[in-house]
Structure 1
Amino acid sequence: MKRITSFILLLTLIIAMVFPAPFAFAAVTQSAPTTEVPTTEVVTTEVPTTEVPTTAAPTTEAATTEVATTEVPTTEANTTEAATTEAPMMTTAAPGTTNPDTVTILHTNDMHGRLDAEDGRVIGMAKLKTIKDNVQPTLMFDSGDAFQGLPLSNFSKGADMAKAMNAVGYDAMTVGNHEFDFGYAMAMQYKQLLNFPIISSNVYKDGKSVFAPSTIIEKNGKKFGVIGVTTPETATKTHPNNILGVTFLDPVASVTAEMKKLQGQVDAFIILSHLGIDSTTKLEWRGDNLMNNLASNKDFLNNAIIVLDGHSHSVIENGQLKNTALLAQTGTALANIGKVTFDLQGKNATNITASMIKEADTKDVTQDEAVKAIVETAKANFGKATSEVVFHNPVPLQGERSDVRTRETNLGNAIADAMEAYSETGFDTAGDFAVTNGGGIRASIDGNKDVTVGDIIKVLPFGNTITQIQVKGTDVVAMFEHALSAPTIEKDGQVGLDANGAFLHISKSIKVHYDLTKPAGERVYAIEVLNKQTNKFEPLQLDKTYKVVTNDFLAVGGDGYTMLGGPREEGPSLDTVVRNYFKAADMTAYQSTELQRILAGTASENVPGEVTTETPTTEAPTVEATTETPTTEAPTDEATTETPTTEAPTDEATMVEDTIETVTTEQPTSIQDTPAASVEVKHDNVIPFDQAVKQKDKSQHDAKAQTDKETAHQLPITGEAAGTGAAAIGLFGLGLYLIKRKSA
C-alpha cells in the first residue's frame, strides 16, 4: 500500500513540474517612477494662433517655499496701482455684530450681468442690497465674471453693473476671465468705475502686475488679508486680442507667495478665486486644488483660509472643509448668495460653516429703491435699442448650457446654417461648411412667440463677427477631436460628454462620426463633407484645404483651437447674420429631434461603403451680405479701441443662461433635439476618413501584442512563482527516497 502511495505522490509531483502555476510567467520588471520636479511655465497670449503653453503647478511641498525667481517677473511694480510689495489697507467701521469674534461673509460669483430680478431664477441686485442690509455681514465679496453676460449689462460694457455693485456695497472682487471681454482698456477702466478694489495676484503684462494682488481690510478690530487669483484659462476663454501681452502665472504659487507677504500683518486669509472645479480644467488650475494645497501648507496651519471660488458655476452648498480651509461657490447668475461664518480668536478659526441664501428664500424680499432705480434706467436704455421684432418663431430652439455644450441641438444647427448661408454671397467664395462653439450660445428661444433683436442678442451676446478661414483636412480632424475631447460621464446608464464650451455645432454640409469608447484625441472615425456639385456626401480628404465658416473668436485660436488661424475674411456681427437668416428661413425645418450631424457610434460596427444623398427638400435662404450693424443693434457688437476687428465679449465663458450646476455637472441622458437637415442622407455604412492609417496602426499594434505574448514566456520566474518549481523538485526527491526505502 505504501508503495502505491509513493507512486501516486511521485506522479503528482511530475505533473506539477510539467504544468507549473499560471502566475509563474508573470512579468516583474517595471520602470522606476520619476521624481523630477515639474517646470512651471507662464501661459502667454502674445501670439493668439500659437498653442498655449502648459502651466504646471508646483507640488504641495513647493507651495510652502518661496516662488522661484524664474517664474514671477522680476519687476514687481504695478503699472496703475501702488507697488505690490505693500498691500493696500482699507479700514471701515464695525458692522455691529453681537459677537465680535464671529465673522460673517456674504459672497457672489459669476453674476454675469444679472442686474434685474427674475422670479424663480435670479435674485437681482436690488434684492441683494436689501439682504445685505438685513444680514449686516462683516465682509462682502465677489469672485469674478460680474460685468459681462446678459445684453442688459453688455449694453454699457458692464458700467451699469459696476454702479449697482457700488450701491450694494462690496468690499473687494477678483478678476474673472470675462472681465476682459470688452477689451483690455475696459478691464482697466473697472478699477476707476468701482469704489472697492478689484484684485488679482497672477495677472501680469509686460512684466508688471496688472491689478493689485491683494488688499488688507480691517473690521471689528480684525485684519483680513484678501488675495485675488484669476484662471490661466483666460488665455483661451476670452478673445485673444483682448489680452495681448498678458500672462497668467501659476495660481497656487502666486497665492502662496502673496500670503507669505501678508503673514504677520493679518488675522485671517480670504482668497477670491476665479478658478473653478470643472473636470475639463487642469487640476493645477482648479479652486479645489488651491484649497487643498493651502490647507496642507505647514506655514498656515490653524489659520483661517476661506477660498471663495468661481468660474465653473458650481453650487457647493455647504462648502468643502479641510483643516481650517474652506472652499465655497454659489453657482451662477445670482441664483444664490453664499454665506460663510466662523469664529476668529487671535489667528485661530473655529466653527467654520458655509450655507446658501437661495432665490426661493427671497420671494418676499423687497427691492432696495436706490439700486432698483439703477436697474430700471439700464433697462430703459437697452429696451429702446432692441425692441424690434425680427420674426415669429414656430418651434422651441434649444440653447441651454447643458445641451449646447454636450450635444447637437436645433438652435446650434440653425445658427451654423445661417453662417453657411451668409458665406454663399458674403465672402469671395462660398464656404464648404460652418462651425460655431457651444460656449457662445447663451439662451434658448421659446416657440410660438415673436422674437426681437434683444432675444437674439441674448442667444449670442458676445458681439463676435462671422469669419471664413482655410483649414487643411488634417486640421479639420484635429479641430473635431478637440471639440469632442471632454471627459465622459455616465447618468442612468447612458454615457455622454461632460459640458465643454469648445463643443462645436455644425452646418448641414458636414457630418461627424465619433466613438466615445475611445480616448480623447482618437474618437473621430469618419467625417463626411457635402460635395455641392454632385450633392453627395464624400469622405473628408486629409490633404485638401477646406473653406470653413466660423466666428472670429475660434478663427484666432480661442477655446483652445490652436490648429486654426491664418488669413481670414470677416463679415458683420454673428447676431446680425443669424437675425437676417431667421427672418427669411422656414424655421419649421428645425422641428425634428432626430440626430443628423454629430453622431455617436462605434467605429468597429461600420463597414466601408458608399454614402449618397438626395436633393434637399428645403432650400436654405440666401442671406444678403451686409457690412453695417442695424441702428437697433446693442453696442455689444462694437469693438474696443484696442481690438477694433474682434468685437467685444467672447465665447467660452462660464456664464450659464438661467442654469445652475451642482459640484458634479448633470448632463442629459441622451442626445436629442436636432432638426432634420436640409440635405437628406441615406447611408448604411460610413467610410472612415483615415481608415488606411488606422488599419496600419492596428496591424502594428497586433504584431506588437503577439511579440509581447511570445516574449512573456521568456521572462525569468521570480518570487512566489519560482517557489513552486523548487518545492516540486524537493518533493520529487522525497518520493524517490520513499520508494527506495520501501524497496529496501
Structure 2
Amino acid sequence: MGKPNQSANFLRKAGIFLFILSFSFVSSGWAQKHIRILNWNDFHAKNMAIRKKDKKGSYSSGGAALLEGAILHFQQDSIPIVKVNAGDDFQGTPISTISRGASQIRLLNLVHPDVFTIGNHEFDYGSYRLDSLLHRAHFNVISANLYNTDTGKLFAKPYQILQIGGVKIGFIGLMLPDLPGVVLSKNIKNIKVLDEKRTVEKYVYLLADSVDLFVVVSHMGIEYDRKLAAANNAIDVIIGGHSHTVMKKPEVVNGVLIFQAGSYGRFLGKLDIWVDTQRDTIVRYRGKLMSLTSRNFTPDKKVQAAVDSLELIVGKNLDRKIAELKTNWIRRRNGESNIGNWIADAFREYTGADVAFQNSGGIRKNLYKGPVTKRDFWEVTPFSNTILTFKATGEELLAIIENSVSGKHGMQQISGMKVFYNPNAPENHKVTKLLVDGKTVNTKKEYSVATLNFVFDKFVKNYRLIPENRPVKKFNKLDRDVLIEMAQKQKILFSRIEHRYKKVKD
C-alpha cells in the first residue's frame, strides 16, 4: 500500500527518517531499495544552450543536449533512475511557436521522460492541437484532473505505475486549478479542471494495494503543492512545476517531500530516496539541484543535432541586430518595470489609444544592454497574442487598476496613466487617485484602451471587469511584430521606472 502504517507515518511527520540507517537491510529485515528521481519542469522550449562567461572562462548553460547529457551521466551509475517532467515544455522560443509545439514533442521523444504531466502552456496552441501532438508522443503523459467535455473522458491518462529498482511507484498527474485564468478561453473551451484534492484521494484509494509509493507530478505551483501535501500525507513525493521555484533541496510538508527544479533548463533535480518496500514508506532521502552547464556535463550529440536541424527552420534572420539597448530591461511581476513601460507605450503609440495595458506575466525574458535582435522579441513575448482596442469608462478603468494592485494576478504594466494607491487599504478601495494623460479620471467618460487579446479575455471572462458584449477593434498585428517595428524605428532603446504606480501611506 502507498499509505504508511501509523508508526512509519509518525516517523515521517517527526522528520527523523533522514537519520535512519542507510544499509540495504536493517536488523528487522526490512528491504530498503535505493532509487533516484531526475526531474525538470518549465523548460519553455529553451532548446539551445546559452553561452556564458565568467572569470574562469566561457561555458554553455542549459539546452536540450546538456539535459540529455546529464541524464546519460547519471544513468551510468548503478542506481535505478526514473525521469520526470512536470510540464510546460512548450512555448518560449521561436521554434516552438513556428512548429506549434511539434519541436518539443520531437525532442521529448529523444530525451524520453518516463512520466510527463501536462502544463498550462501545452494548451497555447489549443486543446485540439495538443491532443494531436500527444498522439506522436513516445513517453507516458498523465493528468488526472483534466476532463474533456467533448468526449466525456479525461484528456490524458490519470496515472502511470512504474516499477523502478524493485519499487512500484504510482505517478499521478495534476494541473493547476486556475487553468482558465492563465490560458486563452478558446484554447480550452472543451477542458474542465477537476478538484485536485478529491482527484488525488480517488487514485490513492484506487491504487493503494498496487504500489509502494505515490508520486504526484504537479503543474500547480509550490503553494498549491504545499496545500495538497498538508491535506493528504498518503502522498510520498510531489514533483512540481509552474511556479519556477528553485529548490536547492526538497521541502517536507506533513511528511511529504516536495521538489521543483526552477525553469528554462538551468537545473536538473536529483532526488535519491531509500524505500522500505515492506512498510511502503521512504526511510531516507537526499536531494539537490544540478546546474546544467558544460562544466558539469557533456552535451549529447544526437539531441544537439536535432536542435540544430530545428533551428534551421527558424533561420538566421531572427538573429540580425535591429536596435541597441542602452539600459538593462528587467521584468517585475508585482510592480512597474522599465521593459513593461516600453511595451505598453509601444502598444499605445501603435493604436493611438488613450491608455494601454500589458500583463506582467506575458513578459517572459529580461534583456540586457547591447545589441537587440528579432529573436529577443520573439522570446520576450512568445505567445503570438494580437493587439486590439476597446472603449472603457473611467469607472471601468478604475476597476481594472484595482484588480491590478490587488496582488492577486500580478500588476498590469500601463501606459498613459499614473496610479496612486494604498496597498494596505481594503480590497477594491486601494486606489486613491487615477490620472489619465495627467488629469484625474472622469468616471463617466469613455477612454480608448489598447491591450492584448489574452488580457482582454481575462478582463471579460475571468475578472468580469468588462461586459462580454463590448465591441473591440482588432488589429492584424502580433504583439512581437509591433515591438520589432517600434525597435527598428527607434534604433536606440531606453526606458526607465517612472513611478507610474505610486504607493501612498494610510
TM-score range (shorter-chain normalised) is 0.7 to 0.9
CA 1:397/1:420 → structure 2, altered by over 3 Å: closer, same or farther?
farther
What SS class does the counterpart of residue 505 from structure 1 fall into? strand
Please report how far the alpha carbon of residue 418 of structure 1 lies from its aligned counterpart in structure 2 after TM superposition: 1.2
Q: Would you say the 8 A contact 1:341–1:351 is kept in 2?
A: no
1:283-294 counterparts in 2 under 5 A? 286-294=224-232
User: Partner of 1:622 in structure 2?
Assistant: none
Distance verdict in 2 for CA 1:323–1:417, change over 3 Å: closer
* Counterpart check, 1:421 vs 2:349: yes
CA distance in structure 2 between the aligned counterparts of 1:354 and 1:252, rounded to whole angstroms:
27
Gaps of 5+ in 2: 1-30, 53-59
Aligned to 1:597: 500
More strand by share: 2
Partner of 1:316: 247
Q: Secondary structure at the match of 2:113?
A: coil
Shift in Å, 1:467: 0.7
Given the alignment, which residue of 512, 528, 539 partners 2:435? 528
Q: Is the partner of 2:439 in helix, strand or coil? A: strand
Q: Is the Cα contact below 8 Å between 1:122 and 1:333 reproduced in 2?
A: no
| 347 and 119 in structure 1: CA distance in 2 versus 1, 3 angstrom threshold | farther
CA contact (8 A) 1:232 1:250 kept: yes
1:263 lines up with 2:208 in the alignment: yes
Q: Secondary structure at the match of 1:455?
A: helix
Deviation at 1:474, TM superposition (A): 2.0
Distance 1:310 1:510, change over 3 A: same
* Paired residues of 1:336 and 1:356 also in contact (CA < 8 A): no
Instruction: For structure 1, list consecutive stretches of 5 or more residues without a partner in the other structure.
Output: 1-98, 279-285, 425-430, 488-499, 531-536, 605-744
Task: Determine which of 192, 199, 205 is the counterpart of 1:247.
Answer: 192
Q: SS at the partner of 1:236? A: helix
Name the SS for the 2:222 alignment partner: coil
C-alpha separation between the residues in 2 aligned to 1:242 and 1:591? 34
TM (norm. structure 1) is: 0.59
How far has the Cα of 1:513 moved from its partner?
1.2
Pair 1:563 & 2:501 matched: no
Identity among equivalent positions (%) equals: 28
Number of positions where the alignment pairs a residue of Structure 1 with one of Structure 2: 458
1:209 maps onto 2:154 in alignment: yes
d(CA) in 2 for partners of 1:587 and 1:385? 20
In the alignment, which residue of structure 2 is the partner of 1:359?
291
Counting only pairs closer than 5 Å after superposition, residues 589-628 of structure 1 correspond to structure 2 as 590-593=494-497, 595-602=498-505
What amino acid is aligned across from residue 188 of structure 2 in structure 1? I
Q: CA deviation at 1:258?
A: 1.4
Q: Give the 3 Å change call, closer, same or farther, for CA 352–361 of structure 1 in structure 2.
A: farther
**1:398, 1:411 within 8 Å by CA — same for their partners in 2?**
yes
Can you list the C-alpha shifts for 1:659-715, whole angstroms capped at 9, x where unaligned?
Answer: xxxxxxxxxxxxxxxxxxxxxxxxxxxxxxxxxxxxxxxxxxxxxxxxxxxxxxxxx
- 1:442 is the counterpart of 2:358: no
* 2:339 corresponds to: 411
Q: How does 1:100-115 map to 2 (within 5 A)?
A: 101-115=33-47
1: CA distance, partners of 2:291 / 2:143? 29
Displacement, 1:323? 5.7
- Residue of structure 2 equivalent to 1:539: 440
**Runs ≥4 residues deviating over 4 A:** none
Rounded Cα–Cα distance in structure 2 between residues aligned with 1:557 and 1:171: 35
Specify which of 130, 153, 161 is matched with residue 187 of structure 1.
130
The whole-number CA distance in structure 1 between the counterparts of 2:367 and 2:37 is: 37
Partner of 1:433: 355
Alpha-carbon separation, structure 2, partners of 1:394 and 1:273: 38
Decide whether the 8 Å contact of 1:324 with 1:352 is kept in 2.
no
Give the conservation status (yes or no) of the 8 Å contact 1:328–1:354.
no
Tell me the SS of whatever aligns to 1:457: helix
AA matched with 1:557 = K
Identify the match of residue 370 of structure 1 among 281, 288, 302: 302
Residue 707 (structure 1) aligns with: none
Q: Answer with 1 or 2: which has the greater Rg.
A: 1
Tell me if structure 1 keeps the 8 A contact 2:144–2:173.
yes
Cα deviation for residue 399 of structure 1 reads: 3.6
Q: Whole-Å Cα distance in 1 between the matches of residues 382 and 144 of structure 2?
A: 29
Match of 1:463 in 2: 384
Check whether the contact 1:324–1:349 (CA below 8 A) recurs between aligned residues. Answer: no
Per the alignment, do residues 323 and 446 of structure 1 end up closer, same or farther by CA in structure 2, a change over 3 Å counting? closer
Instruction: Give distance in 2, aligned partners of 1:342 and 1:513.
Output: 51
Q: Secondary structure at the match of 2:99?
A: coil
Deviation at 1:388, TM superposition (A): 4.3
What is the CA distance between 1:591 and its match in structure 2? 4.5
TM-score normalised per structure 2:
0.85
SS where residue 392 of structure 2 aligns? strand
Equivalent residues in 2 for 1:217-236, closer than 5 Å: 217-236=162-181
State the 1:389 CA deviation.
Answer: 3.8
What secondary structure sits across from 2:313 in the alignment? helix
For 1:294 and 1:394, how far apart are their aligned partners in 2?
50
Decide whether aligned partners of structure 1 residues 574 and 591 sit closer, same or farther in structure 2, where only a CA change above 3 A counts: closer
Deviation digits for residues 355-403 of structure 1, max 9, x if unmatched?
223326751421111111111112222134524443x224225143xx2
Hey, what does 1:162 align to over in structure 2?
Answer: 105
Partner amino acid, structure 1, of 2:98: F
Structure 1 residue 481: deviation in Å? 1.1
Residue among 452, 468, 472 paired with 2:393: 472
